[in-house]
Structure 1
Amino acid sequence: MDALPALTRMVGDLAPTFGADYWSTKPYVYESRGDAQRFDDLFSADAVDELVTSRGIRTPFMRMATEGTVLAQKSYTAPGGFGAEVGDQVSSEKVLAEFAGGATIVLQGLHRTWPPLVEFTRRLTDDLGHPAQVNAYITPASSRGFDPHYDVHDVFVLQISGEKQWRIHRPVHVDPLRDQPWSDHRAAVAAEASGAAHIDRVLQPGDVLYLPRGWIHSAEALGGTSVHLTIGIAAYTRADVASTLLEVIGKTPALRGSLPLGIDFSDPAEVQPIVEQVLESLRAALAVPDDRSTAARQVQSVGAALARRLATDVKPEPVSPLATVDAIAALSATSRVRWRGSLRARVEDAGETVRILAGTKVLALPAEAASAVRALAGGAPTAVGALPGLDTDSAIVVVRRLLREGLVVPA
């Protein structure tokens, strides 16, 4: 089985070396070589019409734009009518009028609303180790949705139908963070975009473009309606490691003390000695510990904090409430279960118990269940009666609890 199935689907045989050769450093174009339907199971023009006409989507899951200007919501939404008295449901008639007039449709958050992309994005997140989200851009012929700009996240562009010409320019602000949008460098972006493009390429159905954050881009539909997916990757950065490390060491006694009563923050004479004291405490705390066990604990604390953040940012495989309750009721030695897909959890021994830490959830089970839990965490579907270290009755009790807590699912 391919170790990077979702990434391989986008960049082909390059996947094993993609991280070293392209990730976060330079753009890449993968040509489908005539395989125009290779993403049809993920999304299509018919899917756009279905979402607009019969899924009852509301803002902010859709927006529209013309030549870089986002349209007012009332121009493409309307009340839902009897039984759905909300004022911001997408109106297919209004969407038609704006789209026929040259406006781009943007369907947002498809990794939460369109089942094939829910699953694909989950697997891609497993491959990359960073959060991902998916939008679709539907652009009328010869129209441009947005002016040249850069994103503060990496993107993969999957051309679904039609053709789109992409013009890519080098960054004017390398590796922008989330609070450093392109509008902060509007003049520099416009100046760079007026020159010769680093890449000027027409994407055809099945093609993929990868853009690291900060690379300036604009796109124009050619000949007919263009549909493409933009998969945004909110990559964690070394700045995230630094801020997490500061959070960890900020809990040390030297930094927990209150500031003086009545301090005047506008007076440099009052603030300066406090800043100097804090900097000295930070220097001491940030020094590489001579004690290896202390250094290891520091690394573990930072890693655990970032793991918790990732578990919060990325949703694991959805659970089916009705099917799970039925599975619990019918559970037997022959029932097969598996670890919930993309569940980021840690299993650790804790004296007389084994603990499962999954985000904010902590589940403690008797220590004799440790081997069974670790076997399930390996990911392979397993019959309840075949779990190691437990008799059948105990295994049923343990699996029933794991099902109820959403840690395993019926296989």
Structure 2
Amino acid sequence: MGRVLEQLVGDAGAFAKTLEERRPQLFRPDGWPAGLPRPQELDAVLRGGLLRVPYVEMVQDGEVVAPERFCTARTVAGRREDGWADPERIAELLGEGATLLLPQLDQWHGPVRALATDIALRLGRRTEAFCFATGAGRRGLDVHRDDADVLVVQLAGEKEWTVHEAPADGRWRPGLAPEPGPVALHTVLAPGEVLYVPRGAPHAAVGRQGLSVHLSFTVREAGVGRLHAAVGEFLAGGAEEEGLPERPGTDEELLAAAGEVLRLSRERLAGLTPQELVRLARGPLPAPAPAPDSPDSPGPLGG
């Protein structure tokens, strides 16, 4: 396992406390973490011809841009396929004030996946990666709340951030925040600098000095709805062990089966601890990323 989290925020233990206290914080790493992409790499991917919706999106004036405005169609193996990113159209829209979004880099960019995996394993929480490119004086979204803790890593240009205080309790919803409350941190991120935005803290960012590009690692956390869902999944996981008929034929048999399901469910729930429920609600963590060219992880073509 790497040391990505320490490279981004310094002491991982101190950062875990920052997560608990939900305070925005600025970090200035000494170097550029291995695997963190340079904007030129992402530009090459964009121009490489294989990027398509939904792994590329654009937003302008707070609205999602229709894919046909920045994508093109191709014929592949005799079939017409839509949604291929067109770098020239994307450049035009960026010049008109739109924001480019590359969602889920962790799903298709190997080095970024390794970084997100390392963060997830260190913090015990599912982590995803998103990339944003914004022109000077522009912002993709108005002040809003995210349902995740976010580590913002500036890749190119500068971006001015305003982060408001996180809500004092859990009674809030993600989305636009027209009344964001007191400002907790105001800063300008330069390339290589890192900003922590707490879950639920209203925030907005404005690009400065040319094209601003940043990578966001979103660290997901379970809510009450996910806890309820995890209870259902936990109970359903033991259904095969009950030995009950799948389709009782009479009302009497159905009532008997219902009574047995309740009895077995109570027994199973009695052994479920809050700690285990939280672990189940957070979901499975990814396996550690293999080392490059590792012989233990051959590709689909045997490489």
TM-score range, shorter chain: 0.7 to 0.9
The SS at the match of 2:137 is coil
Matched, 1:181 2:174: yes
Matched, 1:68 2:62: yes
CA contact (8 A) 1:64 1:103 kept: yes
* Distance in 2 of aligned mates of 1:165 and 1:5: 28
2:109 corresponds in structure 1 to 114
The SS at the match of 1:52 is helix
1:310 corresponds in structure 2 to 284
1:11 corresponds in structure 2 to 9
User: Any unmatched runs of 5+ in structure 1?
Assistant: 262-277, 290-294, 327-411
Q: Deviations over 1:181-234 (max 9, x none)?
A: 32xxx5xx2122xx6522111111111111221110100011221110011111
The SS at the match of 1:221 is strand
Pair 1:247–1:39, CA change in 2 (3 A): closer
Matched, 1:244 2:230: yes
Aligned with residue 183 of structure 2, among 188, 197, 208: 197
Which gives a bigger RCO, structure 1 or 2 (Cα 8 Å, sep 6+)?
2
**Greater helix share, 1 or 2?**
1
Aligned with residue 92 of structure 1, among 87, 102, 105: 87
Matched, 1:49 2:43: yes
**What's the TM-score once normalised by structure 2's chain length?**
0.77
* Distance in 1 of aligned mates of 2:3 and 2:170: 27
Letter in 1 for 2:178: A
CA contact (8 A) 1:44 1:160 kept: yes
Aligned with residue 320 of structure 1, among 283, 298, 302: 298
Pair 1:55–1:115, CA change in 2 (3 A): farther
Aligned with residue 233 of structure 1, among 205, 209, 219: 219
2:99 corresponds in structure 1 to 104
- Write the mapping of 1:9-408 to structure 2, written as runs, cut at 5 A: 9-12=7-10, 14-23=11-20, 25-32=22-29, 35=30, 38-39=32-33, 41-80=35-74, 85-172=80-167, 174-175=169-170, 180-182=173-175, 186=176, 189-192=177-180, 196-237=182-223, 240-241=226-227, 243-245=229-231, 247-248=233-234, 285=266, 295=271, 298-299=272-273, 302=276, 306=280, 309-311=283-285, 314=286, 317=289, 319-321=297-299
Supply the RMSD in Å over aligned alpha carbons.
Answer: 3.8
CA contact (8 A) 1:174 1:214 kept: no
CA contact (8 A) 2:153 2:192 kept: yes
Structure 1 residue 19: Cα displacement: 1.4
Structure 1 residue 240: Cα displacement: 4.2
1:355 corresponds in structure 2 to none
Q: Deviations over 1:349-377 (max 9, x none)?
A: xxxxxxxxxxxxxxxxxxxxxxxxxxxxx
Structure 1 residue 301: Cα displacement: 11
* Distance in 2 of aligned mates of 1:248 and 1:175: 24
Letter in 1 for 2:17: A
Q: Which has the larger radius of gyration?
A: 1
The SS at the match of 1:88 is strand
* Distance in 2 of aligned mates of 1:170 and 1:90: 37
The SS at the match of 1:57 is coil
Query: Between the two proteins, what is the percent identity of the paired residues?
Result: 23
Q: Deviations over 1:107-131 (max 9, x none)?
A: 1111122221121112222111111
Pair 1:158–1:307, CA change in 2 (3 A): same
Pair 1:120–1:249, CA change in 2 (3 A): closer
User: Any unmatched runs of 5+ in structure 2?
Assistant: 252-258, 291-296
Pair 1:98–1:16, CA change in 2 (3 A): same
Structure 1 residue 22: Cα displacement: 3.0
* Distance in 2 of aligned mates of 1:6 and 1:211: 18
* Distance in 2 of aligned mates of 1:129 and 1:7: 12
Pair 1:93–1:308, CA change in 2 (3 A): closer
CA contact (8 A) 1:139 1:225 kept: yes
